[in-house]
Amino acid sequence: MSKQSATVETSYREALKEAIREAMTRDERVFLMGEDVGHYGGCYAVSKGLLAEFGPERIRDTPLSESAFVGAGIGAALGGMRPIVEVMTVNFSLLALDQIMNNAATIRHMSGGQFNVPLVIRMATGAGKQLAAQHAHSLEGWYAHIPGIRILAPATLEDARGMLWPALLDPDPVLIFENNTLYNLEGTLPENAVAVDIDKAKVMHTGNDLTIISYSASLFKCLDAAKALSREGVEAEVIDLRTLRPLDDATYLASIAKTHRALIVDEGWRSGGISAEISARIMEQAFYELDIPVERVCSAEVPIPYARHLEEAALPQVDTIIAAAKRMVSHG
């Protein structure tokens, strides 16, 4: 068998930083810009130390001007650079939504293929820290609505480490969503961790009784649920979507062909969300494989509240996932 390579203890945050460091070292055109990425060290400390290492030309603190610096990132990408733009959280990215939607996503098409925008935008997303309704939403599903951009949602350390480089190689804009509850996630990575595939979903836990489709922080709730279900004799197959656009239909459809039951778990809202899209695709492509209707566990249709008990009640939880899974298995 192949020799086990050495591993290092790391965290999601460190893995992201290593990825940025690697990209900046490999390609001079790569630079990082955003609010507080330099002197402060990054609002989630992802870029801490990089200013000293790479200098203020390549680790650029920007004013509070999301629209302008995301737009400038698009311009710099058009002009031959490979910018990584950090937006503090998805809620603030809405100030730059016009730039992302009307410029980044459209320029290649509108110009008849003459110009492309090799830009990476990273941002935090998600609830769980009692930050209330202007800091805690999961809008990656919204962004996945937009043709012309790729949407990545790294959940694991491997993906935190390995998605950035292929994202930078992508000739088109890529948005990377980092759930704010994952930054402290710890674990090990091979010392020589490398780029990962950014086209395929991944089976994270195998089982024959039902397929649970999820991504980002919810993935871990699904894995916990799968373990608990397994103790009760229910074997769930858990899939990490990893890429929300373009969706890798084949992986979850193959699983459903085996389990005949599909549960989608999404921290976004149910109405019009990515879970609705996946459900529709299952209906379109695997209707006759299903023993029972597709089910979804999503966030409650409410701006995320501050109070802990209300925030917890608003989000998908291990218990609600287990309950849905059991209901589905017992019904057919």
Partner 1 sequence: MNSTIDREHAIDQLRMMLLIRRFEEKSAELYSASKIRGFLHLYIGEEAVAVGVMASLAPEDGVVATYREHGQALARGVSANRIMAEMYGKQEGCSRGRGGSMHIFDAATRFYGGNAIVAGGIPLAVGLALAEMMRGCNTVTCCFFGDGAVAEGYFHESMNLAALWKLPVLFLCENNLYAMGTAIRYTQAAPDIAAKGAAYGMKATAVDGMDVVAVEGAARAAADHIRKGNGPYLLECRTYRFRPHSMFDTELYRTRDEVNQWKKRDPIDLLARRLYDTGGFNDQDMDVLEQSVAVEVEAAVAFAEAGTLEPVEDLTRFVNSERSDA
Ligand X SMILES: Cc1ncc(C[n+]2csc(CCOP(=O)(O)OP(=O)(O)O)c2C)c(N)n1
Closer residue to ligand X (CB): 17 or 135: 135
Binding of residue 236 to ligand X (CB under 6 A): no
| Greatest distance between any 2 Cα atoms in the chain | 61
Phi-psi group of 70: left, alpha or beta (phi > 0 → left; psi -120 to 50 → alpha; rest → beta): alpha
With CB under 8 A as the contact rule, the residue among 21, 27, 29, 61 that binds partner 1 is: 61
Binding of residue 307 to partner 1 (CB under 8 A): yes
184-203 residues in contact with ligand X (CB under 6 A) are: none
Distance CA 60, CA 96 (A): 18
Question: Catalytic residue at 66?
Answer: yes
With CB under 8 A as the contact rule, the residue among 110, 303, 327, 331 that binds partner 1 is: 303
Binding of residue 35 to partner 1 (CB under 8 A): yes
Distance CA 28, CA 148 (A): 25
Decide: 180 and 193 in contact? Cβ < 8 Å: no
- Radius of gyration over every alpha carbon of the chain, rounded to an integer in angstroms: 20
**Helix, strand, coil % over all residues of the chain, rounded to 5:** 40, 20, 40
Binding of residue 65 to partner 1 (CB under 8 A): yes
Question: Catalytic residue at 135?
Answer: yes
**Strand stretches in the chain, DSSP E:** 7-11, 30-34, 59-61, 82-89, 120-125, 150-152, 174-179, 186-190, 202-205, 210-214, 236-240, 243-245, 262-269, 295-299
Q: Which stretch binds ligand X (CB under 6 A): 87-95, 193-201, 228-236, 315-323?
A: 87-95
Closer residue to partner 1 (CB): 261 or 296: 296
Q: What is the DSSP string of 58-103?
A: TEEE--S-HHHHHHHHHHHHHTT-EEEEEEEEHHHHGGGHHIIIII
Binding of residue 310 to partner 1 (CB under 8 A): yes
Closer residue to ligand X (CB): 61 or 291: 61
Binding of residue 67 to ligand X (CB under 6 A): no
Binding of residue 328 to ligand X (CB under 6 A): no
Distance CA 260, CA 255 (A): 8
With CB under 5 to 8 Å by kind, the binding choice for 133 among ligand X, partner 1, none is partner 1
Binding of residue 308 to partner 1 (CB under 8 A): yes
Binding of residue 68 to ligand X (CB under 6 A): no
With CB under 5 to 8 Å by kind, the binding choice for 38 among ligand X, partner 1, none is partner 1
Closer residue to ligand X (CB): 64 or 307: 64
Interacting residue ranges for partner 1, rule: CB under 8 A: 35-36, 38-41, 43, 61-68, 91-92, 95, 129-135, 300-303, 305-310, 313-314
Which sequence positions are flagged as catalytic? 66, 135
Interacting residue ranges for ligand X, rule: CB under 6 A: 35, 64, 66, 88, 92, 95
